[in-house]
A and B are shown apart, each in its own frame.
Chain A
Amino acid sequence: MDKIPIIKMGDFLLVSIQVDMHDRLAMALQDDLTIRVAKERSKGVLIDISSLDVVDSFIGRMLDNIAAMTRALGTETVVVGMQPAVAITIVELGLSLENIYTALNVDKGMALLEARMQASVDANDD
């Protein structure tokens, strides 16, 4: 598999990372997602990492970069489904995911994106 599929759902883009990514695949996802956000004028990005049993510094940085890049385009990214063992490990590793919104699962992540989208619509109305 040489590409992670990106699914458009309404105003959002959804990604579910189901494979153990090598570094080039992670970099390709970062670029593909950023380009798709601009092309589709997406209002939010949701990345499901519940199948990922390792998040090392490279993958962590990739997720953080995606959030920073999409934010630069006016779009928020939420990462959902992080396994507890992964959360414990990245904190011990010292990884700080500064740009990322996280949520426990897909439902909560979608709710968070919708709330962010509403907040930005309200702000633009003022």
Chain B
Amino acid sequence: MTINILRSETIPLRTDEDVVRARRIVRDWTISMKFSLVDQTKLVTAVSELARNTVDHGGGGSALLEMLDDTIRRGIRLTFEDQGPGIPDIVLAMTDGYSSRGSLGLGLGGTKRLVNEFNLFSEPGKGTRVTIARWK
């Protein structure tokens, strides 16, 4: 199946304020695509978690935001990328209750439940890339 990218935007993620901005931009996209309020909230919350990880753990990076159309439905895909220290143990990092920084530790496992697609690629010393998608 072909997936067409209708629109894309790159959001820099360096500061706390950038996380807020990412939330706002994704909210606007979900509204324009007529996502339900619950789906909007789930995606924006997932974006908030991942954007914060990029800023706090990854030392900053960016999010690529894409509007997708697979001819049957539309969706939003986000790719968060940083050149930070990477995640040494991905299985552990995905476990509910695990946190490397003493936070609540539900960033990744919890975030995965809020979206339809979740892919994590990380190489220690090189960085982390997380791709999520939510379809309407």
Contact = CB atoms under 8 A, between A and B. Distances in A.
A31 interface: no
A94 B15 CA distance: 25
B49 A57 contact: yes
Most buried by B among A86, A88, A89, A92: A89
Interface string B57-70: 00000000000000
B42 interface: yes
Nearest 4 A-B pairs (CB), nearest first?
A: A22-B16, A85-B41, A93-B110, A56-B48
Interface string B28-70: 0000000001101110110011001000000000000000000
Interface residues of B, number: 28
Interface of A: 20-25, 53-58, 60-61, 83-86, 88-90, 92-95
A94 B42 contact: no
Contacts of A61: 103-104
Nearest to B52: A58
Contacts of A83: 41
